[in-house]
Amino acid sequence: MSREVRAILDMFEIVFLGTGGSIPTEGRNHPAIAIRFQGVVLLFDAGEDVQRQYMRAGLGLNRPMAIFVSHIHADHVIGLPGLLLRMSLLGRQRPLEIFGPKELIEYVRMTRDSIGLGTTFETTVYAVDEGRLWGHNGLSVRAFPVKHRGLALGFEVTYQRPRGKFHPERAEALGVPRGPLWHNLAMGKAVEIDGRRIEPHEVSDPPPSPLKIVYTGDTRPCESLLEAATGAEVLISEAMYASDKVDLAQERGHMTAREAAELAAEADVKLLVLTHYSPRYDLERGATILNEARELFSNTILAHDLMRIEVTWQGARVVASRQYS
């Protein structure tokens, strides 16, 4: 497999479906973030109108998918029934797993009949509080408790590449001829040549450290978040207020942009993306909170609805961004 193909396969794509905090605005929907990896869609929160944002983003309703809800506040779940209805009406076939605080089970159950849930695909809702929730082929999602109002979760998404880089020159030096034996070694299998056994670690680097993206949900700065965010490629953080509203942030269990930047710096993340910011910052396109965060952590960007970010071991880059008007 060429290095280019490998890079594409090992690429995360983050799509911001909604970036509004509490109240949607003309240009920003309620919170919802899709993270796509190797054809799998992981959806974090499902605010109002997530179904149409999901369609606009072209994410596909019959993909392998799991949904993770950070907490039961309406701005994070109010769009879930609509999204499930859409999947039901359009004949999704694949089973769907949904993870979140225990109230989510009752919430989905209450809307089940009106949605017609269970007619075309199986839905399972899991009540969770922390720990590893989901995993598939090296991709995994872990929840950690954060500090909001009631049980609230943050999420850590990681991908662990199974093997490190294969070095053909090392294989050559050990007398392994180019061809299927190289392929086997590159895929992590030992080979034999003239009665000698060559192990994959002799010709490949150890696997790189996992690629990590962390989403805070709604929270005050806290130890569990700092721990999860440490070393992350991307930290997606709520930043409901600017520092002049720190009292409000403390009272309502949110973060200021400054606090998010402080945490990003301490956690040594590569990129900080601010989201879930108050409608009051729409008038100046979020400049106040962005500038405030950048004073402490320069590699900060502000999320907008339908912004896309690609994340690989080479770093993160914004590939599409539409400024709201």
Residues that bind Zn ion (CB under 5 A): 73, 75, 218
Per DSSP bridges, beta strands 123-127 and 300-302 are unpaired
Q: DSSP H helical segments within 131-202, as ranges?
A: 168-173, 180-186
- For Zn ion, the closer CB: 148 or 304: 148
HSE-CB of 250 using CA atoms within 13 angstroms: 5
In the complex, least distance from residue 73 CB atom to Zn ion, rounded to whole angstroms: 4
Question: Which candidate, 67, 66, 152, places its Cα nearest to that of 102?
Answer: 152
Q: How far is the CB of 62 from Zn ion (least distance, A)?
A: 29
Q: 18 has which bridge partners? A: 32
Residues 269/274/276/278 CA torsion (nearest 10 deg): 140
Catalytic residue among 45, 49, 75, 218: 75
Residue corresponding to tokens 């599409």 = 320
Closer by beta carbon to Zn ion, 48 or else 75: 75
Question: For Zn ion, which is the closer residue by CB, 71 or 142?
Answer: 71
Order the strands of the 139-145 sheet from edge to edge.
131-136, 139-145, 153-159, 211-215, 234-238, 271-275, 300-302
How is residue 177 written in tokens?
A: 């001829």
- Cα–Cα distance measured from residue 170 to residue 183, given in angstroms and rounded to the nearest whole number: 13
| Least distance (Å) between residue 18 CB and Zn ion | 10
Nearer to Zn ion, 36 or 73 (CB): 73
Question: Is 194 noted as a catalytic residue in this protein?
Answer: no
Q: Quick one: which of 297, 280, 274 has its CA closest to 244?
A: 280
Minimum distance of Zn ion from residue 57's CB (angstroms): 20
CA distance 109 to 122: 13
DSSP state at residue 202: G
> Is the Cβ of residue 48 or residue 233 nearer to Zn ion in the bound state?
48
Of 75, 31, 8, 3, give the one whose Cα is nearest residue 237.
Answer: 31
Neighbour tally for 229: CB within 10 Å: 27
Residue 12 or residue 44: which is nearer to Zn ion going by CB?
A: 44
Structure tokens at 64: 């392998």
Q: Give least dist CB 300 to Zn ion, A.
A: 20
Least Å from the CB of residue 67 to Zn ion: 16
Helix (H) or strand (E) holding 265: helix 257-267
Active site residues: 75
